[in-house]
Amino acid sequence: MENIHSYPQTTALDRAQGQHRVLRNTYALLALSMAPTIAGALLGVQLKFSFLAGNPFIAFMLFLGVAFGFMWGIERTKNSGMGVALLLGFTFFMGLMLSRILQVALGFSNGGTLIALAAGGTGAIFVSLAGVAATTKRDFSNLGKFLFSGVILLLVAIVANIFFQIPALALAISTVAVVLFSAYILYDINRIVQGGETNYITATLAVYLDIYNVFVSLLNLLMAFTGDRD
């Protein structure tokens, strides 16, 4: 006699396997995305790339425009190979943008150490929180609106500090960004595990931005507190 419970069990198993596949593909594409990021950063450092450094506000607005253009294109093509190509192009662009802070860091006598510490700290944060998000039975989806509100407030603070140039505010922005985007790592990985995100390209983009912002913010804090110009 056929087991009447077999269909729900099979559906649950298929769902779990699908979620695991999305997570596995996300990690693979995330690892791949680091190659164009590093290439862009190295090229930018070699060329002393500067994105409209003379006008920080216009540079920031232009950066947001290019970044959101890439993200729009990635979302529109997320179910095709073009989505992967656009994502890798976006990470190369983000690597170029990263070169500016790397140039500043390398101006310190311990700049290489600061960059390594920021990278190591980012890696530790990611591994720890991704591990929690992937193994816990808790659903963190309720954090979404709170975290999004935090990003909006952070953007407002960044724009304000472009004009006011207050060092204490810059440190506060970096500190909040580390906490906020670390929480986003927990949220975004947990969404995949809970089945809230089923497209690995979209998932990779979200987690990549989390890691990128944690790294930049950590590096800013390390330069401020332990940078040595001697």
**What's the pLDDT tens digit per position in 150-187?**
999 999 999 999 899 899 999 999 999 999 999 999 99
Alpha helices (runs of H) in the chain, residue ranges in sequence order: 6-47, 56-76, 81-106, 111-135, 144-164, 167-193, 200-226
- Residue 168 belongs to some domain of the structure: yes
- Residue 220 belongs to some domain of the structure: yes
- DSSP 8-state code for residue 196: S
- Residue 51 belongs to some domain of the structure: yes
What span, in angstroms and rounded, lies between the C-alpha atoms of 219 and 118? 5
- DSSP 8-state code for residue 4: T
- Residue 130 belongs to some domain of the structure: yes
- Count of structural domains, the chain: 1
- Residue 208 belongs to some domain of the structure: yes
Half-sphere exposure for 207 (CA within 13 Å, toward CB): 34
* Residues of the domain holding 148: 6-226
Summarize the confidence of residues 57-76 as an average pLDDT: 93
Residue among 183, 176, 184, 219 nearest 205 (CA): 184
What span, in angstroms and rounded, lies between the C-alpha atoms of 29 and 135? 21
Give the pLDDT confidence score for residue 7 in this predicted structure: 52
- The amino acid at residue 12 is A
* CA trace torsion 193, 125, 136, 7 (10° rounding): 20
- Residue 1 belongs to some domain of the structure: no
Give the pLDDT confidence score for residue 8 in this predicted structure: 57
Residue 137 confidence class, pLDDT cut points 50, 70, 90 = confident
Residue among 137, 169, 134, 132 nearest 153 (CA): 169
* CA trace torsion 147, 153, 158, 160 (10° rounding): 180
Summarize the confidence of residues 81-110 as an average pLDDT: 95
Tokens of 212: 């990128």
Give the pLDDT confidence score for residue 46 in this predicted structure: 93
- Residue 112 belongs to some domain of the structure: yes
- Residue 119 belongs to some domain of the structure: yes
The more confident residue out of 217 and 61 is 217
Contacts of residue 150, Cβ cutoff 8 Å, sequence gap at least 6: 176, 180
Angle separating helix axes 167-193 and 6-47, nearest 10 degrees: 150
Q: What is the pTM of this model?
A: 0.91
